[in-house]
C-alpha cells in the first residue's frame, strides 16, 4: 500500500497540519477519506491558496499584528452632562467599557459608524475628567487602567532592516510609519494624561494598577515609529516617575536595560531620544553628592552610547544628560572627556562634528584645574581634527569646527592659562595646515589663529617655531643621508653586475 500525504486547516487553531492517508491504485478523488473524520480537501494537497490569503489578511492589519476584535455595532450611550449626578459614575464606567472595543484601522471603510461613536465617547470622557471634580471613585481606577491597557498595549510591528540605523548620510530623514489607529489612540493618550494630572488622582489607590508590569509595557511602546506617540509616552512616563516614588528605581533600571540592549545587541530602538530627554530631567533632580550607581550609569551606559552609528538621532539629548552630570559633580568632567576620546570617531566626519559640539559644551563649564589635567590628551585629538582633510565635505566641516573652538572666550582663557602645555602640541600642525591645506577658508582661519597665538605669547611661539625648523632641518639631513646611502648601494650593485 502507498501512503499519501495531505494538508488541512484546523478550524479552531488556524494552523496547517499534515495528515497521512492510505492511497491505493484508485484515483485521488476516489480515495476514502478515512474514518477519522479528518475532512481532507479534494483540491491539490500542496495548494497555497488558503495560506496566502491568511498572510495577506494579516499584512492589511494595523500595528496589532493580527489581533482582531469581532464585536457588534456600537450604540451611542447617553451624554454624561445630561445624566443626573447620582448616575454619572455608573454611566462613566459604562463608557470606559465601551471604549475597550478595538477597531481595525487598516480597513478604511469598515465600522465607520462604530468608530465615530467610540471617538465621540473618548472625547466626551476627556472633557468630563477635565471639568468634573470628585469623579475618581475607587472603582473607577481599574476601569480606567483596563481601558488604557487594551487600547495602547500591543505588539509593535517588527522593524525593517534599515529602521533607526541612520548612517553617515543621514537616514533619519526618512518618513516614519505612522500609527493607523491614531484617531482613537491619540484621545486615549490625552485621556490618560489628564487622568494622571487630575486633582482627584490618588497614587495610593492607583499603585495597585499602575505597577511594574504596566510600566514595562509602557516602556516597550517607546519603540513605536510614530513620533506623536513617543511624545505622549515621554510626558506620561515623566508624570508616573514623579507621582510613584516606589517605581522610580524600577523605571531607571528598565531604561538602563533598554540602553544596554541598544548599545551591545540590536542598535535598533526608536525612542532613545525621548528616554534620554526623560533621563535628563531625572538627572537634574539627583541629590548631591551623587550616588555611585549614578556615576556607574554615566560610565557604563551614557558614554558608550556615543559609539552608536545613529548618534545624530539623539545626540542633543545625550549631551544634555552628560552636561547635567558635570553640573552635579564637576570632577566628572575628566572621566567624561576621557570617555569621549576613547570613542572618538575615526572615519565618520558627521559624528566627529557632533563630538566637537559636545566637547565645547563641556569646556564651557569645566573647572580650570580639571582642564589642566586633561589638556594634553585633549589637544592632541583637537590638533588631529584640525588637520582633517575630508575631501567629501566642502567646506571641510571637521577642521572648520575644530578651529571654531577659538571663538569661545572661556576656551581661549583656558588655553592661555595652559599655553606652555598646549602650544607645543598645537603649533606644528597649524603651521602645516597653513602651507598644505586645500581649502582657502581653512587656511584663512589658521592664519588668524596663528596671529592670535603670537599676540598672546610671541616668545614661546618663536621658540617652538625655531625648534620646529631645527627638527625639519634634521629630518631633511636624515632623508638626504638615507637617499645617498641607497644611491651608493645601487652603485655597488651595478659594479658587481658589470664584473
**Confidence check: pLDDT of 188 > 50:** yes
Give residue 159's pLDDT. 66
In a domain? residue 432? yes
In a domain? residue 118? yes
Domains: count for the chain? 2
Q: Which of 216, 243, 263 is the endpoint of a domain?
A: 263
**Confidence check: pLDDT of 31 > 60:** no
Return left, alpha or beta for 440; rule: phi > 0 is left, psi -120 to 50 is alpha, else beta: alpha
Of 35-49, 173-187, 220-234, 379-393, where does the model show the most confidence? Answer: 220-234
The number of C-alpha atoms within 13 Å of 290 and in the hemisphere containing its C-beta is 20
Within this chain, do residues 239 and 335 fall inside the same structural domain, yes or no?
no
Contacts of 273 (CB under 8 A, 6+ apart): 313, 314, 316, 317
Average pLDDT in the chain:
83
Within this chain, do residues 258 and 333 fall inside the same structural domain, yes or no?
no
DSSP 495: H
Give residue 108's pLDDT. 74
Give residue 218's pLDDT. 97
User: Which of 340, 360, 342, 344 shows the shortest CA–CA distance to 352?
Assistant: 344
Measured distance CA(379)–CA(52) in Å, rounded? 62
User: The domain containing residue 437 runs over which residues?
Assistant: 329-466
Average pLDDT over residues 291-301: 95
Average pLDDT over residues 484-490: 91
Within this chain, do residues 259 and 353 fall inside the same structural domain, yes or no?
no
Measured distance CA(420)–CA(440) in Å, rounded? 29
pLDDT band at 175 (very low <50, low <70, confident <90, very high): confident
Within this chain, do residues 98 and 247 fall inside the same structural domain, yes or no?
yes
Give residue 409's pLDDT. 93
In a domain? residue 5? no
Give residue 16's pLDDT. 42
**Confidence check: pLDDT of 85 > 80:** yes
**Confidence check: pLDDT of 401 > 50:** yes
Within this chain, do residues 355 and 219 fall inside the same structural domain, yes or no?
no
Q: Which of 263, 280, 306 is the endpoint of a domain?
A: 263
Within this chain, do residues 251 and 109 fall inside the same structural domain, yes or no?
yes
Backbone angles phi, psi at 400, to 5 degrees: -65, -40
- Higher-confidence position of 23 and 211: 211
**Confidence check: pLDDT of 99 > 70:** yes
Within this chain, do residues 233 and 97 fall inside the same structural domain, yes or no?
yes
Backbone angles phi, psi at 322, to 5 degrees: -65, -45
Measured distance CA(228)–CA(462) in Å, rounded? 59
Ranges 8-17, 205-214, 399-408, 410-419: which has the least confidence: 8-17
The residue count for the chain: 499
Within this chain, do residues 251 and 351 fall inside the same structural domain, yes or no?
no
Unique residue bearing C-alpha cell 493607523: 180
The CA–CA distances, whole Å, from 352 to 264, 334, 433, 440 equal 21, 19, 19, 21
Give residue 233's pLDDT. 98
Give residue 71's pLDDT. 62
User: Which of 336, 433, 440, 342 shows the shortest CA–CA distance to 388?
Assistant: 433
In a domain? residue 234? yes
Within this chain, do residues 217 and 337 fall inside the same structural domain, yes or no?
no
In a domain? residue 381? yes
Give residue 163's pLDDT. 45
In a domain? residue 79? yes
Unique residue bearing C-alpha cell 473607577: 140
- Higher-confidence position of 255 and 35: 255
Within this chain, do residues 339 and 423 fall inside the same structural domain, yes or no?
yes
Got the DSSP string for 145-185?
HHHHHHHH--PPPPPPTTTT---TT-GGGSPPPPPTTHHHH
Give residue 394's pLDDT. 47
Average pLDDT over residues 468-476: 83
Within this chain, do residues 124 and 222 fall inside the same structural domain, yes or no?
yes
Nine cell digits for residue 159: 522593524
The whole-model pTM stands at 0.79
Preceding peptide of 300 cis, ω within 30°: no
User: Which of 219, 211, 263 shows the shortest CA–CA distance to 238?
Assistant: 219
* Segment 44-79, tens digit of pLDDT: 444 444 443 333 333 334 565 445 455 668 888 999
Within this chain, do residues 234 and 338 fall inside the same structural domain, yes or no?
no
pLDDT band at 454 (very low <50, low <70, confident <90, very high): confident
Q: Which of 215, 247, 263 is the endpoint of a domain?
A: 263
Read off the CATH number of the domain in which 184 is found.
1.25.10.10
In a domain? residue 187? yes
Average pLDDT over residues 235-240: 98
In a domain? residue 59? no
User: Which of 268, 315, 262, 311 shows the shortest CA–CA distance to 156?
Assistant: 268
Ranges 227-231, 292-296, 427-431, 482-486: which has the least confidence: 427-431
Amino acid at each position: 500500500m502507498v501512503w499519501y500525504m495531505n494538508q488541512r486547516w484546523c478550524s479552531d487553531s488556524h494552523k496547517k497540519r499534515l495528515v497521512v492517508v492510505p492511497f491505493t491504485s484508485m484515483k485521488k478523488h476516489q480515495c476514502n477519506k478515512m474514518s477519522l473524520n479528518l475532512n481532507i480537501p479534494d483540491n491539490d494537497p500542496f495548494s497555497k491558496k488558503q495560506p496566502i490569503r491568511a498572510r495577506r489578511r494579516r499584512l492589511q492589519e494595523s500595528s496589532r499584528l493580527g489581533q482582531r476584535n469581532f464585536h457588534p455595532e456600537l450604540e451611542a450611550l447617553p451624554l454624561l452632562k445630561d445624566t443626573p449626578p447620582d448616575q454619572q459614575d455608573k454611566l462613566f464606567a459604562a463608557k470606559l467599557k465601551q471604549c475597550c472595543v478595538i477597531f481595525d484601522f487598516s480597513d478604511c471603510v469598515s465600522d465607520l459608524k462604530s468608530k465615530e461613536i467610540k471617538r465621540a465617547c473618548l472625547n466626551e470622557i476627556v472633557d468630563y475628567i477635565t471639568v468634573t471634580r470628585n469623579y475618581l471613585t475607587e472603582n473607577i481606577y481599574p476601569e480606567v487602567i483596563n481601558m488604557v491597557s487594551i487600547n495602547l498595549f500591543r505588539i509593535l510591528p517588527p522593524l525593517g532592516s534599515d529602521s533607526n540605523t541612520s548612517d553617515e548620510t543621514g537616514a533619519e530623514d526618512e518618513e516614519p510609519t505612522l500609527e493607523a489607529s491614531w484617531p482613537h489612540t491619540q484621545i486615549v493618550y490625552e485621556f490618560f494624561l489628564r487622568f494622571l494630572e487630575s486633582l482627584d488622582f490618588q497614587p495610593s489607590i492607583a499603585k495597585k494598577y499602575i505597577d511594574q508590569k504596566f510600566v514595562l509595557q509602557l516602556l516597550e511602546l517607546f519603540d513605536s515609529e510614530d513620533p506623536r506617540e513617543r511624545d505622549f509616552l515621554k510626558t506620561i512616563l515623566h508624570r508616573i516617575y514623579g507621582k510613584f516614588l516606589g517605581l522610580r528605581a524600577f523605571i531607571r533600571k528598565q531604561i538602563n536595560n533598554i540602553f544596554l540592549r541598544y548599545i551591545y545587541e540590536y542598535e535598533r530602538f526608536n525612542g532613545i531620544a525621548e528616554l534620554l530627554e526623560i533621563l535628563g530631567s531625572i538627572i537634574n533632580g539627583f541629590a548631591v553628592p551623587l550616588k555611585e550607581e549614578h556615576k556607574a550609569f554615566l560610565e557604563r551606559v551614557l558614554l558608550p552610547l556615543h559609539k552608536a552609528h545613529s548618534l545624530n538621532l539623539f545626540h542633543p539629548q545625550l549631551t544634555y544628560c552628560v552636561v547635567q552630570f558635570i553640573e552635579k559633580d564637576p570632577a566628572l568632567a575628566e572621566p567624561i572627556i576621557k570617555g569621549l576620546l576613547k570613542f572618538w570617531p575615526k572615519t565618520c566626519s558627521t559624528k566627529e562634528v557632533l563630538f566637537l559640539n559636545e566637547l565645547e559644551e563641556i569646556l564651557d563649564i569645566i573647572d580650570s584645574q580639571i582642564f589642566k589635567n586633561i589638556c594634553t590628551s585633549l589637544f592632541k585629538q583637537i590638533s588631529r581634527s584640525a588637520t582633517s582633510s575630508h575631501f567629501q565635505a566642502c567646506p571641510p566641516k571637521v577642521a572648520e569646527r575644530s578651529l571654531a573652538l577659538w571663538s569661545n572666550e572661556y576656551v581661549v582663557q583656558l588655553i592661555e592659562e595652559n599655553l606652555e602645555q598646549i602650544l607645543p602640541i598645537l603649533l606644528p600642525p597649524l603651521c602645516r595646515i597653513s602651507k598644505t591645506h586645500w581649502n582657502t577658508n581653512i587656511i584663512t582661519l589658521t592664519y588668524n589663529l596663528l596671529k592670535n597665538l603670537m599676540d598672546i605669547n610671541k616668545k614661546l611661539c618663536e621658540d617652538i617655531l625655531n625648534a620646529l625648523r631645527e627638527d625639519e632641518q634634521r629630518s631633511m639631513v636624515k632623508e638626504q643621508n638615507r637617499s645617498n646611502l641607497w644611491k651608493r648601494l645601487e652603485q655597488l650593485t651595478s659594479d658587481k653586475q658589470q664584473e
